[in-house]
Structure 1
Amino acid sequence: MPTVLSVTMAIGSHRLSQQGAITKRMTAIEEMAGMDVLCSDKTGTLTLNKLTVDKNLIEVFVKGVDADTVVLMAAQASRLENQDAIDAAIVGMLADPKEILNLACNKSEIEHRVHSVIDKFAERGLRSLAVAYQEVPEGRKESPGGPWKFIGLMPLFDPPRHDSAETIRRALNLGVNVKMITGDQLAIGKETGRRLGMGTNMYPSSSLLGHDKDESIAALPIDELIEKADGFAGVFPAVADATDAARGASDIVLTEPGLSVIISAVLTSRAIFQRMKNYTIYAVSITIRIVLGFMLLALIWKFDFPPFMVLIIAILNDGTIMTISKDRVKPSPLPDSWKLSEIFTTGIVLGGYLAVMTVIFFWAAYDTDFFPRIFGVESLEKTVNPDFRKLASAIYLQVSIISQALIFVTRSRSWSFVERPGLLLVGAFLIAQLIATLISVYANWSFAAIEGIGWGWAGVIWLYNIIFYFPLDLIKFFIRYVLSGRAWDLVIEQRIAFTRKKNFGKDTRELNGTSAKDTPRASSTSDTVWLRELHTLKGHVESVIKMKNLDIDTIQQSYTV
């Protein structure tokens, strides 16, 4: 088991690195598979971090100065070369228009208007850049110069990434709640959330400290506030420009910008976790099946299965199960984790069923003439001096075939014959069972106490296993229904998404059970997605109306936005 799980995680880690997510701690793959909340930075992650200026919206506060002059002065104050840490700190502080306003000598005259314009820009999702100038009569930088004069505000627009809205929709469909963490103003965060369909239930970071809370959230504890919020403003996270120390402390390092790489990594992690979970259920089932089956044969008929043949079963089985690490699987539609009750219940029931199958086969071959009478094969019935060598070969083939066939049941979420397995797994299974069939047909090994049973018995055993294979899916669905009540959703689901290399998230997935966000109208996943798409469209319409300086209240008297 450790070998299979380690190889699976190692191959999965390599696959994640190809998608732009470098794993520094293996167990982080399991944690990402169970992730249900994603906190995302806004600037550079949800948006392009490529600011543009709309000259038509520039506000001028000094007579005799036009918008072109404001742009020219802002350009003269900018630097194209790289800044050192001190320069970056100073410029970063002065980027806040309020800091520029505090330097201005005409602050008292324009303060109310400046704040009004800043709020108006923020409601449209626009940042504000203040421009002030100072006259230096002597023309030297060491001169004290005159007072600073505030001359204008420039609106800066940071457009969302082209894939942000779609990526957020995919994340919601996968059961991952996306929250925005931004250092910008609250109004900018809300407008961006409206455009991307994330919701506008956002609060300033000071609300986490008990300040600036409105009446609706005043009584909420911090953990509940965080859970209900769609994001927080004024937080100042570090993503692309994170320090080396922060990168060193992380478990997964993203090498590509945007959210799409995270969603791809989530799907890949769930596929990796699904492979490990499938193998764990299979390992529990086979352990129960071997121990219980051979124990019942020994207790009821005093039949001792040859230990050497158990070794052959294990060797052929190991070669097949190693291919699980590269199998094609269907990731869980929701965050997944180790559910021991599900794993052990499924393993025990499936293993018990296989053990009973072997006992019934032994009884029919040893105590009755059913197989000779129906299929005309050689009788293996008990005699005065019973010879178990041919019966041991028959039991070996029956156990080998159905034990490895169980892999196809445990690896699938729906019907095992619907979800196509990987070619490597199918090839390993066919080769292993071809070897097992040839051994049972031709091997006359006195040291292993077996004797060949011929092709007639081999065909009967294959038919017997095929017939009793189909109930395994029904048993799996029944167990899932008892534990969760959702098995029928997987039985009737027709849209099967197979994982391919670098292809996670491109297929349409119909998922159930996604927790709705803080919206009482959303009662199911489809309702949630529909409402969010409608909300996003509504946000686009409102943004266009505001950008055109139209009165939205007047428009809503005739039209519903």
Structure 2
Amino acid sequence: MSIINESIYAADGFTNEDVIKFGFLCSNADKKDDPIDKAIVTAFAATGYSREDWEQTEIIGFNPSVKRVVSVVKHTPTGKMFTIAKGLPAKILDTAAGAVDDHELQWKCQRVNDKKFVEQVKKVDTGLSTSGYKTIAIAVCEGNARELGDDSVWRFAGLLPMLDPPRHDTPDTIESLQHANISVKMITGDHANVGIETARLIGLGTNIVAGETMRNAQSETKNNIIWESDGFAAVLPSDKREVVMTLRNHFGLVTGMTGDGVNDAPALSAAQVGIAVDGATDAAKNAADLILSEPGLSPIYGAVLESRRIFARIKAYVIYRVAASVVLVSSLSIIIFVTGCSVGSLYVIILALLNDVSMIPVAYDNAKATTKPQLPKARSLVYQSAFYGVVQAFLTIMFIFSTDYDKHLFQDIDLHQCTPQTSAFIWLHLVFCTELMIFSVRAPGFMLFSSMPSWKLVVSVICTCGIGIIIAMFSADFWSAGENVGWVLLFNVASLIVVDILKVQFRYFINEEPGETIDTDELRKAPKRTETEKKVKKDMRYVVHNESIMPKEDREHVVEVSRKRSRSSLAGFFDIGTEFVLNDGFVRGAGITPRVGLATIPESGRVKQLSSPY
């Protein structure tokens, strides 16, 4: 951020240098992390003036609700005192603008009733803000305004235009996030015109709503404004929090918030993902979930991609683990119930152990992030696990029973005799079936057209299958059945392809199609778009948003524990003898001494239900 000297507006009786000087005297030169003060101090240093003749005796810092800073300074050669204010132009002209605030100093500048003068100031301010400049107004009062009280006379000195250009990678970051179906809204305390110009420069839509408009709207209208707008300007800290809470609770969207200042802390803590940018204040860092260690917003895009990859790996493992259990239990159970032939319990344990160990490399798999948000829907995971489990179990049963009387095999399989060779054959088939299944489960689309699995996973599966062959051969004098091993491998490869084809159709059927994948971490180049094109893209994202909203029953969990429980039941045996509810990790209830700060639930008041968002 920097002061543009050529565009400084000085009121009658002041020069451009006076405006910079008084702005400097109302700044904290030691506050290196404040971009406004830093820009003003830098501009003052460039003028060549010395600060040695001035002594800052007092400063009342910036407050987001009053939007101004006030300092008292002393001109040491003459001993004269001055009170200087800088801040939002409307609040500097008249501190009661918008609404009376709680600042101890209130005033109206000398010419505030001069309509022509006020219109001139507003015209300059609007012109600067339309061009993308932030404006800081300066006013001066001779003497200590606190001591003078109502006798203080304030003169409007001028406007300092500040240019805060977006980083070179911000448009590309926003384009990349939007491609990943994440909508971006801008919330700023600047003038609406500055917000509109900034939004245009970074590729956002220019439907920027003033904070006052949002605050004065009725509840349902306000919700629609928050949903439809591209951003908000001239907001208060409470407005930022309200936007986050509305998007999160009313619309059910997973909401993130970025910020760097104290006034961003309430919104950062309200969001599911609070992100403190590089150089943020301690208050913002403490309220955030993530702290960026590099300048700019581009690390957010990298975090989104990595989180989706992690989710894909976890999802693949969960589906695989449940499906493998279904295959093992159902296949072995049906074979035992129909023929009486069983696999030794030790070998079942070994098979389960091999499956667990061989799947460790899933954590390092080459998963791809998708453009559609991935949702942790338990129902979908159950459906997909059941699909793999049922289809693979059906193919397994079909294969095992078809080989029972197949004389083409090198060594006959007889389920009714249940020879050791037969048990080894069944066991080896289950090893191949459960191990190869991971290659279909991990792929969001067709296995052959998806990203290649990591070499660690491939080696792990091959080694496990090799160990399975060795164990099967040693366990049942299976050395002469090498041809049978070939049949098992051939059938499992063929069944894997069949299951993978059916998988794609099944995912479409349950609305779990993966969509497009993101192949690189590089930011997408932001193209030039008209406002109509931006609106069309936005509407398409909103369709995805509506599809991605978690149902209320998945976002909220109701817990009710009643003392009216039979002592004869297992749950009743462990009952603590009173009615209680679980919330925030604490047990609260009648007869239980609450921790400090926790309200006691009265004995007569039975808690009907308790809901809390995940």
Contact 2:414 2:422 in 1 (8 A): no
Match of 1:285 in 2: 323
Give the structure with the larger helix fraction.
Answer: 1
Secondary structure, in 3 states, of the residue corresponding to 2:367? coil
Where 2:359 maps in the other structure, the secondary structure is helix
Give the distance between the partners of 1:453 and 1:331, measured in 2 at CA: 46
Contact 1:289 1:354 in 2 (8 A): yes
| Pairing 1:183–2:186 present | no
2:142 is aligned with 1:131:
no
Any residues of structure 2 matched to 1:332-343 within 5 Å, and which?
Answer: 332-343=370-381
**Partner Cα separation in structure 1 for residue 380 and residue 340 of structure 2:** 34
Mapping 1:260-299, distance limit 5 Å: 260-299=298-337
Instruction: Name the TM-score, length of structure 1 as normaliser.
Output: 0.70
Q: Deviations over 1:173-210 (max 9, x none)?
A: 1111111111111221122112112111121223333x
Q: Does 1:506 align with 2:522?
A: yes
Give matches, 1:150-299, under 5 Å. Answer: 150-209=156-215, 211=216, 221-233=221-233, 234-236=235-237, 239-242=259-262, 247-299=285-337
Q: CA deviation at 1:389?
A: 0.6
Write the distance in 2 (CA, Å) between the matches of 1:392 and 1:406: 21
Q: Flag the 1:453–1:241 CA change in 2: closer, same or farther, 3 A.
A: farther
1:350 paired to 2:357: no
* Cα deviations by residue, 1:436-470 (Å, 9 ceiling, x for unpaired): 111122334xxxxx755532222221122112211
Kept after mapping to 1: 8 A contact 2:87/2:138:
no
Aligned to 2:612: none
2:88 aligned partner, one-letter code: D
Contact 1:274 1:332 in 2 (8 A): no
RMSD: 3.5
Residues 507 and 431 of structure 1: is their aligned pair in 2 closer, same or farther, counting only changes over 3 Å? farther
Question: Contact between 1:441 and 1:458, CA under 8 Å: does it hold in 2?
Answer: no
Query: What is the SS of the residue equivalent to 2:184?
Result: strand
* CA shift in 2, pair 1:507/1:113, >3 Å: closer
- Spell out, residue by residue over 1:195-252, the C-alpha distance to the aligned partner (whole angstroms, 9 max, x if none): 112111121223333x2x6xxxx89533222111111221346932346566445444
Q: Is structure 2 residue 344 aligned with structure 1 residue 324?
A: no
Partner of 1:80: 29
Indicate the residue corresponding to 1:105 in structure 2.
110
Mapped partners of 2:226, 2:480: distance in 1: 68
Q: Distance in 1 between matches of 2:369 and 2:335?
A: 39
Q: C-alpha separation between the residues in 1 aligned to 2:199 and 2:509? A: 40
Q: Secondary structure at the match of 1:198?
A: coil
The answer to whether residue 6 in structure 2 is matched with residue 56 in structure 1 is yes
Q: Distance in 2 between matches of 1:147 and 1:227?
A: 45
Q: Tell me the alpha carbon deviations over residues 468-507 of structure 1, each in whole angstroms, 9 at most, x when there is no partner.
A: 21112111111012122857xx6xx7xx645xxxxx6327
> 2:440·2:496 contact (CA, 8 Å) conserved in 1?
no
Structure 2 counterpart of 1:432, one-letter code: T
Q: Does 1:464 align with 2:491?
A: yes
CA offset at residue 91 of structure 1?
1.9
> How many percent of aligned residue pairs carry the same amino acid?
24
1:420–1:53 distance in 2 versus 1, CA, 3 Å: same
CA offset at residue 172 of structure 1?
Answer: 0.9
SS at match of 1:130: strand
Equivalent residues of 2:326, 2:390 under 8 A apart: yes
CA distance in 2, matches of 1:520, 1:171: 16
Alignment partners' CA distance in 2, 1:67 and 1:246: 35
| Aligned equivalents of 1:393, 1:335: Cα separation in 2 | 44
The CA distance in 2 between the partners of 1:201 and 1:426, in whole Å, is 51
**Cα separation, 2, equivalents of 1:69 and 1:313:** 83
Distance 1:306 1:219, change over 3 A: closer
- What is the CA–CA distance in structure 1 between the aligned matches of 2:137 and 2:394, rounded to whole Å? 80
Output the CA distance in 1 between the equivalents of 2:523 and 2:354: 35
Give 2:589's aligned residue.
none
**Partner residue of 2:458 out of 412, 426, 445:** 426
The one of 322, 338, 344 equivalent to 1:306 is: 344
Q: 2:412 aligns with which of 379, 384, 401?
A: 379
Distance, in Å, in 1 between the alignment partners of 2:5 and 2:300 is 36
Give, in whole Å, the separation in 1 of the partners of 2:537 and 2:344: 64
Distance 1:227 1:453 in 2: 70
After superposition, the C-alpha distances for 1:101-158 in whole angstroms (9 at most, x for unaligned) are: 245323334212111211222222211122344557xx9x999998443232221111
Displacement after TM superposition at 1:423 (Å): 1.9
Say yes or no: does 1:404 pair with 2:382: no
The CA distance in 2 between the partners of 1:87 and 1:357, in whole Å, is: 74
Aligned counterparts of 1:251 and 1:132: Cα–Cα separation in 2 = 40
- Whether the 8 Å contact between 2:261 and 2:283 is mirrored in structure 1 is no
Contact 2:431 2:468 in 1 (8 A): yes
Structure 2 CA distance for partners of 1:77 and 1:112, relative to 1, 3 Å? same
Distance 1:85 1:347, change over 3 A: farther
* Paired positions, count: 439
- C-alpha change, 1:208 and 1:99, in structure 2 (3 Å) is closer
Match of 1:91 among 46, 63, 69: 69
TM-score (norm 2): 0.64
Query: Structure 2: which 5+ runs fail to align?
Result: 33-57, 71-84, 95-107, 241-257, 266-281, 526-531, 545-614
Residues 507-526 of structure 1 mapped to structure 2, 5 A cutoff:
519=535, 524=540
Unaligned runs of 5+ in 1: 1-50, 445-449, 499-503, 510-515, 529-561
**1:221 partner SS:** helix
Report 1 or 2 for greater relative contact order, CA contacts < 8 Å, sequence distance ≥ 6.
1
Q: Is the 8 A contact 1:175 1:333 kept in 2?
A: yes
The structure where strand makes up a greater share of residues is 2
Aligned equivalents of 1:355, 1:85: Cα separation in 2? 76
1:144-155 aligned within 5 A: 147-155=153-161
**Deviations 1:328-387, CA, capped at 9 Å, x for gaps:** 201232122123333222221221121122212222321222x32xxxx2223468xx24
1:70 and 2:19 matched = yes
Q: What letter matches 1:404 in structure 2?
A: E
Return the alpha-carbon distance in structure 1 between the equivalents of residues 325 and 500 of structure 2: 19
CA spacing shift, 1:68–1:248, aligned 2, 3 Å: closer
Q: CA deviation at 1:69?
A: 4.4
Do the aligned partners of 2:380 and 2:512 also contact (CA within 8 Å) in 1?
no
Whether the 8 Å contact between 2:59 and 2:69 is mirrored in structure 1 is: no
Tell me how far 1:292 sits from its aligned partner: 1.5
- Give the conservation status (yes or no) of the 8 Å contact 1:317–1:404: yes
Q: Distance in 2 between matches of 1:523 and 1:228?
A: 10
Aligned equivalents of 1:85, 1:464: Cα separation in 2: 81
CA contact (8 A) 2:380 2:510 kept: yes
| AA in 1 matched with 2:128 | F
* Contact 1:440/1:453 (8 A) holds in 2: no
State the match for 1:390 in structure 2.
Answer: 421
Output the CA distance in 1 between the equivalents of 2:198 and 2:111. Answer: 33
1:124·1:188 contact (CA, 8 Å) conserved in 2? Answer: yes
The answer as to whether partners of 2:173 and 2:523 remain within 8 angstroms in 1 is: no
Distance 1:71 1:432 in 2: 74
Change (3 A) 1:164 1:508: closer
Task: Indicate if the aligned counterparts of 1:189 and 1:202 stay in contact, CA closer than 8 A.
Answer: yes
